[in-house]
Amino acid sequence: MVTALMGAMVMTAWAQEGFIDHGVGAPAAESRGVVCVEADGRAVAICCSLDMSPRGWVLVTDADSGETTQVHFPEGVPNSPPFASLMSANGRFYTFAGKVLLEFEPGKRQWLFSGTPAASEECYCGSAMCDGPGGLIYAGGYPNCRLVSFDPETKAMKDVAQLDPAEHYVMSLVADSAGWLYAGIGTARQNLVACNPQTGEVRQLVAEADRALGSGSVYLGQDGKAYGQCGGKWFRMFEGRAEETPADQRGPAQATGAIGWGQTTGTFPDGRRLKAYNLPERYLEIEDPKRGEVKRLTFDYESEGAMITSLTAGPEGLVYGSSAHPMHLFVCDPPTGKLTDWGGIPRVGGGNFCAMATQGGYLFGAAYSGGYLYRYDPSKPWNGETGDDPNPKLMAQFNEDVHRPRWCLAHPDGRHVIMAGFMGYGLRGGGLAIHDVETGDTQLLKHTDVIPDQSTIALAALPNGDLVGGTSIQTPGGGHATATEGVLYIMDWATRKVIWQTVPVPGAAEVCSLAVDPDGLVYGIASNLEFFVFDPAKREIVHRASLAEYGGLPRQVFVNGEDGRVLGILSKSIIRIEPKTFAVEKLADAPAGISAGVAVLGGRLYFASGSHLWSYGP
């Protein structure tokens, strides 16, 4: 009762200043890898999680009693995504919170150690953790491919070596019986390397000609040798050397204890199987092969929910929002301020609707990962793309060319929706997918048809229907950038051809957000927080000013208010741009750091702070 009362008082206080905290949009956490172990004679499941709680946590569930313990990270360890974990042969569990290594004792349900082995790395991915020689724990990092070690006895950490000078991802890591380590690396030019952890010597094991797009992979054979694939070839590796091996002569694999972040099944030491682990829905299923039985256990946990990544004003007068990790769609009813979580789409899983738009009475969502374009029909119930009449319905997919969408635009012709974003892993550039709502057809423009080697991450439509786009030189999937500055371009809508381009802010890598004011001028902001105004009639930049004093960049900055004037959100402030003078007026200081947005409906501006949906209005 006290907690509920305090919450109501907080909402009222902010409402008096124009702000309302509507609450958590998607009250769920994402599983980041599950392992089945024996701890003190009991079969237990350990699950890593990802949510927006102040401190990260793991869940430990007893397979017999169903008793579940939520164990938060040690004090001072940030809640950062775990991507790789290891159940070591020494009986302890290891994972990373971003760059921080964590050591866990399953039987005692407690953390034994936390520390940062390599300051340059952001996280550790795939199955790039293993037991190594001398009882040490080894891991391979992102984005600099650093090999690190940890000694469970002395707690000493070491930054051992860089495994590849150009690639970003160590995806798999094993140690042979001779004490050498082997890594599968990607994603732009796959590689296999060996490292002597005693000396730090690194050897590339494959020819440059075999280093195609993708990631090399390694596994440990039962014969104590390592086996790796790169460029369509298989290799047997031992004592730091490799020999090409026919695929049918590979040795059988042995378990290493490595746990990828998507792993939700496993086998307990007593032979029972973890058939399913659903952290968002709060249950797990254990199959007993001897009895032919499946037992479902439910559990609960405290969570601040999933990160909100996009918002839009949509059909039926609702504000729609998407979370990521896991992806859920939620809605807010403006008259009541009530939030409703509609749940996720199994195909999208831990991805998200990176951007949304409303066209022809439908809501469209551009989804990562996989470059999906979904259409939700508000005349039918949302069912998460299940059953005989899926709603939302998948309309198009461009897994390579728009793998990681960043913008979704409803064209003013009332007929088309345009999805834009980054290409897939290891690639650079990104295309446009132009969907016809009436026919259901979708046209793909590759990055080579737009701005070669760059990705469109912001779009707006000019009064004549032509598109204006902003690009990024970045390659978030591990590709190698060749351009140095983001571009602003005009595309002729009739011919789908770029007819003009410029660098609006010299030195800026991205043009992040765009909007068109009532006079037909284009407002944009670059990744260095430089605001600019572009006159498409004169084909020139007519104004520049820094917005740094208002905070950092959310995913979307500008939106047209209901009177047509351009509003903006930055991490610390809500602003409005005055037409003609381009003066920036700060409407309010944000009560919580703004991380995503933005939508305007019913006289209120909606934005996200982490997992919470907020709105602001007079």
pLDDT one-digit tens code per residue, 252-292: 999 999 999 889 999 999 999 999 999 999 999 999 999 99
Distance from C-alpha of 218 to C-alpha of 266, rounded to nearest angstrom: 20
Superfamily grouping for domain 117-257: YVTN repeat-like/Quinoprotein amine dehydrogenase (2.130.10.10)
Residues 6+ apart with CB under 8 A from 525: 511, 512, 513, 531, 532, 547, 553, 557, 558, 568
Are the CB atoms for 134 and 158 separated by under 8 Å? no
Judging by beta carbons within 10 Å of its beta carbon (0-12, 13-18, 19+), is residue 436 exposed, middle or buried? middle
**What does the pLDDT read at residue 7?**
29
**Coil, helix or strand at residue 189:** coil
Give Cα 59 distance to the centre of its chain. Answer: 22
* CATH label, 307-616, candidates 2.40.37.20, 2.130.10.10, 3.40.50.720, 3.40.50.2300: 2.130.10.10
Sign of CA dihedral 553, 186, 156, 261: positive
Phi, psi (5° rounding) for residue 394?
A: -75, 120
Contacts of 218 (CB under 8 A, 6+ apart): 172, 173, 174, 182, 183, 184, 192, 226, 227, 228, 229, 237
Q: Tell me how far the alpha carbon of residue 58 is from its chain's centroid.
A: 20
Q: What percent of the chain has pLDDT over 90?
A: 96
| Domain spans in the chain, listed from the N-terminal domain onward | 29-88+103-114+261-303, 117-257, 307-616
For residues 498 and 521, is the Cβ–Cβ distance under 8 A?
Answer: no
- Cβ atoms of 594 and 605 closer than 8 Å: no
Phi, psi of 210 (to 5 degrees): -90, 0
Longest Cα separation, the chain: 78
Q: Count of CB atoms within 10 A of residue 55's CB?
A: 14
Confidence of residue 308 (pLDDT cuts 50, 70, 90): very high
Q: Over range 112-131, report the average pLDDT.
A: 97
Q: Quick one: 528 exposed, middle or buried, by C-beta within 10 A (0-12, 13-18, 19+)?
A: middle
Residue 17's pLDDT is: 84
Report the alpha-carbon angle 86-92-96, nearest 5.
45
What's the whole-number average pLDDT of the chain? 95
pLDDT (0 to 100) of residue 262: 87
Q: What is the dihedral of CA 556, 536, 453, 404, to 10 degrees?
A: 30
- pLDDT score recorded for residue 510: 98
Scored b (16 or more CB within 10 A) or e, 389-406 reads eebbebbbbbebbbbbbb
* Nearest of 553, 560, 480, 543 to residue 510 by alpha carbon: 553
The answer to whether domain 117-257 and domain 307-616 are alike in fold is yes
Q: Is pTM beyond 0.85 here?
A: yes
Residue 315, exposed/middle/buried by CB under 10 A (0-12, 13-18, 19+)?
Answer: middle
| Alpha carbon distance 128, 167 (integer Å) | 15
DSSP assignment of 449-490, as one string?
Answer: GSSTT-EEEEEEE-TTS-EEEEEE---TTS------S--EEE
Mean pLDDT for 584-594 is 96
Q: CB atoms < 10 A from the CB of 266, how many?
A: 19
| Res 6 pLDDT > 90 | no
Matching residue, tokens 């609707």: 353
Is residue 113 predicted with pLDDT exceeding 60?
yes
Is residue 273 exposed (0-12), middle (13-18) or buried (19+ Cβ within 10 Å)?
middle
- Count each helix (H run) and each strand (E run) in the chain, helices first: 1, 53
| Predicted confidence (pLDDT) at residue 401 exceeds the cutoff of 50 | yes
Q: Count CB atoms within 10 A of the CB of residue 64.
A: 14
Q: pLDDT band at residue 606, thresholds of 50, 70 and 90?
A: very high
Query: Please, which pLDDT band fits residue 10 given cuts at 50, 70 and 90?
Result: very low
Q: Count CB-CB contacts under 10 A for residue 115.
A: 14
* Total Cβ atoms within 10 A of residue 189: 23
H/E stretch holding 16: helix 2-16
Tens digits of residue pLDDT in 436-489: 999 999 999 999 999 999 999 999 999 999 999 999 999 999 999 999 999 999
Q: Taking 90 as the threshold, does the pLDDT of residue 225 lie above it? A: yes
